[in-house]
Amino acid sequence: MKPKFFVLILLLIAMSSSLTSCLTIRQGEVGVKRVYGKLREKTLGPGFYAYNPFTSVIIKIPTRTINLQVGLENLPSKEGLIITAEMGVLFHVDPKMAGALLTTVGEAYEQTLVSSVFRSSAADVCARFFAKDMYTVQREVIERDITAEMMKILGSRGIIIEHVLIKQIELPKGLSQSIEQKLEAEQQAQQMEFVLQKEKKEAERKVIEARGISDAQKILSEGLSKQIIELKSIEAFKLLANSPNAKIIITDGKTPFLINTSKEKE
């Protein structure tokens, strides 16, 4: 009895193992379990899970950032031109809404929902701007506007748009060159304006400096009174009296006039 009982237990374990499958959910993804064709609302986080393959299946949904590359060939501009562009969309799925996303859209949500909404939003936003704006600082504004337009539609569906990137723009032949020439002319005009402002500041500085020198000379001339000149002359006589060099002094007793008769030794 004992050997038969042991064999029976082994058979039961083997049968249960054949009816069980295992799945590992890694970081950056969640799992949604489908039992008898019905999706469970609760998502499964990273970990190891066992399930019955005959009644259940676990669908893995990435929640990390995805870079979707999209080529657009018929983008309209404000002036009616047709622009070809290569853009990228950075987005991720909200882990809490992964089950609802699978229920309403399915596993092909990237092409069915994200790509379609992006093409429509990019066309709507680009039609508000001139073609040259995509070469200037307005490029960032266009990217932000497309991101905001997509979030209005996709945010409630569990898809978070992080950023839209305009990677490459191809304008109609001849227009690109004219825009580059115009931008170069604008840069040269800005540089010339900077030079003129610099020269203007330098001229103002020289005027202020000359005015300061003039005021200083005026103050100095007004301060040299007769008494001050006599006092300075007395101080000069004292210094000459202490000097070892031979000198000839011609004076009327008030203002000295010095003649140096010998050179100082180096």
208-241 residue pLDDT tens: 888 888 777 676 666 656 666 666 667 776 776 6
The C-alpha atoms of residue 69 and residue 67 are separated, in whole angstroms, by 6
> What domains lie within the chain, and their CATH numbers?
18-62 (no CATH), 66-176 (3.30.479.30), 226-260 (no CATH)
Q: Are 43 and 129 in contact (CB under 8 A)?
A: no
Buried b (16+ CB within 10 A) or exposed e, 41-72: eebbeeeeeebeeeebbbbbbebeeeeeebeb
State the DSSP H helix or E strand holding residue 166, giving kind and residue range, or none if neither.
strand 159-170
* β-strand partners of 250: 257
User: pLDDT grade, residue 147 (50/70/90)?
Assistant: very high
Between 31 and 18, where is the model more confident?
Answer: 31
pLDDT in the model for residue 266 = 43
pLDDT attached to residue 152? 93
